[in-house]
């Protein structure tokens, strides 16, 4: 067929094909080059521009080469809050709460005229704040004498007098240290008692955390064996704080679990064993039998160094009556006043100490792990007065 074509036409066809191939090749080359340029601009840091001969570094902790952090082998326990920040936060919480006592005191300080009505109102509010009739009368009498000198209230002076009188009522002279030193190399044993729901288990957890922060070794004993949930709750606190919990089966004899805990603590050279108990209050002799047995059995192994009684500050006079029963049937060495946050009436601090003759050693101001503070008369009063 070619032989039949005109040679000129043949050359034109060949020329056209060559030109077409040249154009297509040029377009492809330009496009590829451009694509490479874009690609290298997008990931300059990943692809090294020059081949490297350096050896691959060994993966070390925190190295970016370790793609996933290794799973923690022990449960991480967060660091307890330092005493300073803890106290100042608790003060803020006391002053910021609907605390009846705090409000009455601030009201008195800020009023510009101290007439008979003002004093009557003040007195009524103090009694309403669970301060008790005796301490209220004493406080009002002293303040009237001290502040009535010019008849007109000087807020600064009122604050100073009020502060010193309240500190006196809260008794700054009493020893509130928690005895955490056991006898003869044995662990200190802290028994925690009180009515159901007052905050025993929570307080054991918070206390364990404070003690661990002080560098002590701690063991928990779940002697509330009446509900499975009770030892579960204690164990949860133990895990959170990083200490072990000795438990018994549901319905086990509380005294035998308490003994196991103290015995284990003694064998292991633990510093402090905290024993949580049930708060059953059927009747006085029942309670006396139960706590009496726990005490006797524990003391076959190690003396009890502290018996802390929990009192829920929101239960007012009822709580006080229950606390009195506990104080009669067992030897209480310190009171923990829980739930002073919220709508609590702080006056109970003064009344409970006077009534039971036992110092308040700790106050609870919330459900969190750090919401427990050692009680001091000055700190408490400053909290109430918002200083």
Ligand X SMILES: Nc1nc2c(ncn2[C@@H]2O[C@H](COP(=O)(O)OP(=O)(O)O)[C@@H](O)[C@H]2O)c(=O)[nH]1
Interacting residue ranges for ligand X, rule: CB under 6 A: 194, 196-202, 279, 310, 338-339, 341-342, 364-367, 371
What, of ligand X, Mg ion, none, does residue 315 touch, CB below 5 to 8 Å by kind? none
E strands within the chain?
A: 188-193, 218-222, 244-246, 272-276, 306-312, 334-338, 360-364, 372-374
Give the nearer residue to Mg ion in terms of CB position, either 279 or 347. Answer: 279
Per-residue HEC secondary structure of 76-87 comes to CCCCCCCHHHHH
Is residue 198 close enough to count as binding Mg ion by CB under 5 A?
no
Q: Which residue is nearest to ligand X (CB)?
A: 364
> How many C-beta neighbours within 10 Å does residue 47 have?
9
Give the nearer residue to ligand X in terms of CB position, either 123 or 371. Answer: 371
CA distances from 60 to 45, 52, 70, 74, 351 (A): 21, 21, 11, 20, 60
Is residue 201 close enough to count as binding Mg ion by CB under 5 A?
yes
What, of Mg ion, ligand X, none, does residue 199 touch, CB below 5 to 8 Å by kind? ligand X
What, of Mg ion, ligand X, none, does residue 341 touch, CB below 5 to 8 Å by kind? ligand X
CA distances from 164 to 156, 176, 301, 347, 348 (A): 13, 19, 45, 15, 18
> How many C-beta neighbours within 10 Å does residue 159 have?
17
CB of 237 to Mg ion, least distance (A): 10
Strands 306-312 and 360-364: unpaired
Nearest to 384 by CA among 157, 107, 199: 107
Give the nearer residue to Mg ion in terms of CB position, either 192 or 381. Answer: 192
Nearest to 299 by CA among 189, 224, 217: 189
Is residue 245 close enough to count as binding Mg ion by CB under 5 A?
no
Please give the size of the binding site for Mg ion, defined by CB under 5 A. 2
Give the nearer residue to ligand X in terms of CB position, either 118 or 196. Answer: 196
CB of 371 to Mg ion, least distance (A): 16
What, of Mg ion, ligand X, none, does residue 180 touch, CB below 5 to 8 Å by kind? none
Give the nearer residue to ligand X in terms of CB position, either 82 or 229. Answer: 229
The pair of structure tokens assigned to 379 is: 């700190």
**Which neighbouring-strand residues pair with 238?**
none
Give the nearer residue to Mg ion in terms of CB position, either 200 or 295. Answer: 200
What, of ligand X, Mg ion, none, does residue 134 touch, CB below 5 to 8 Å by kind? none
Give the nearer residue to ligand X in terms of CB position, either 198 or 322. Answer: 198
Q: Which residue is nearest to Mg ion (CB)?
A: 201
- Read off φ and ψ for residue 193, nearest 5 degrees: -125, 165
CB of 224 to Mg ion, least distance (A): 5
Give the nearer residue to Mg ion in terms of CB position, either 97 or 225. Answer: 225
What, of ligand X, Mg ion, none, does residue 197 touch, CB below 5 to 8 Å by kind? ligand X
CB of 196 to Mg ion, least distance (A): 7
Nearest to 90 by CA among 311, 343, 374: 374
Contact present, 354 and 135 (Cβ < 8 Å): yes
Residues within window 82-101 making contact with Mg ion, judged by CB under 5 A: none
**At which residue do the structure tokens 């902790």 appear?**
61
CB of 199 to ligand X, least distance (A): 3
**Candidate ranges 44-52, 142-150, 153-161, 193-201; the one touching Mg ion (CB under 5 A):** 193-201
Per-residue HEC secondary structure of 332-353 comes to CCEEEEECCCCCCCCCHHHHHH
Return residues touching Mg ion (CB under 5 A): 200-201
């Amino acid at each position: 067929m070619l032989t039949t074509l005109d040679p000129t036409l043949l050359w034109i066809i060949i020329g056209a094909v060559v030109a077409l191939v040249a154009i297509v090749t040029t377009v492809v080359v330009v496009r590829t080059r451009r694509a490479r340029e874009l690609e290298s601009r997008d990931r300059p840091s990943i692809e090294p521009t020059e081949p490297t001969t350096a050896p691959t570094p060994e993966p070390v902790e925190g190295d970016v080469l370790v793609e996933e952090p290794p799973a923690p082998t022990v449960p991480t326990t967060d660091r307890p809050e330092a005493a300073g920040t803890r106290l100042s936060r608790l003060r803020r919480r006391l002053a910021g709460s609907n605390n009846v006592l705090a409000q009455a005191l601030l009201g008195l300080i800020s009023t510009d005229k101290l007439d008979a009505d003002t004093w009557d109102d003040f007195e009524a509010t103090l009694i309403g704040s669970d301060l008790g009739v005796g301490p209220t009368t004493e406080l009002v009498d002293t303040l009237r004498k001290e502040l009535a000198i010019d008849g007109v209230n000087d807020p600064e002076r009122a604050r100073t007098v009020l502060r010193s009188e309240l500190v006196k009522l809260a008794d700054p002279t009493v020893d509130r240290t928690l005895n955490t030193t056991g006898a003869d190399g044995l662990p200190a044993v802290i028994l925690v008692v009180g009515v159901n729901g007052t905050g025993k288990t929570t307080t054991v957890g918070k206390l364990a955390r404070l003690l661990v922060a002080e560098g002590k070794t701690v063991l928990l004993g779940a002697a509330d064996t009446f509900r499975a949930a009770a030892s579960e709750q204690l164990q949860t606190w133990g895990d959170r704080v990083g200490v072990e919990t000795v438990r018994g089966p549901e319905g086990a004899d509380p005294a035998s679990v308490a003994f196991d805990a103290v015995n284990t603590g003694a064998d292991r050279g633990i510093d402090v064993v905290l024993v949580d108990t049930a708060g059953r209050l059927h009747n006085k002799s029942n309670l006396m039998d139960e706590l009496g047995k726990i005490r006797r059995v524990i003391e076959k192994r190690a003396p009890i160094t502290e018996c802390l009684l929990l009192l829920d500050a929101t239960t007012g006079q009822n709580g006080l009556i229950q606390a009195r029963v506990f104080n009669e049937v067992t030897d209480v060495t310190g009171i923990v006043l829980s739930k002073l946050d919220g709508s609590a009436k702080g006056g109970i601090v003064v009344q409970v100490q006077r009534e039971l003759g036992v110092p308040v050693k700790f106050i609870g101001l919330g459900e969190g792990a750090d919401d427990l503070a050692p009680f001091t008369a000055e700190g408490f009063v400053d909290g109430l007065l918002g200083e």
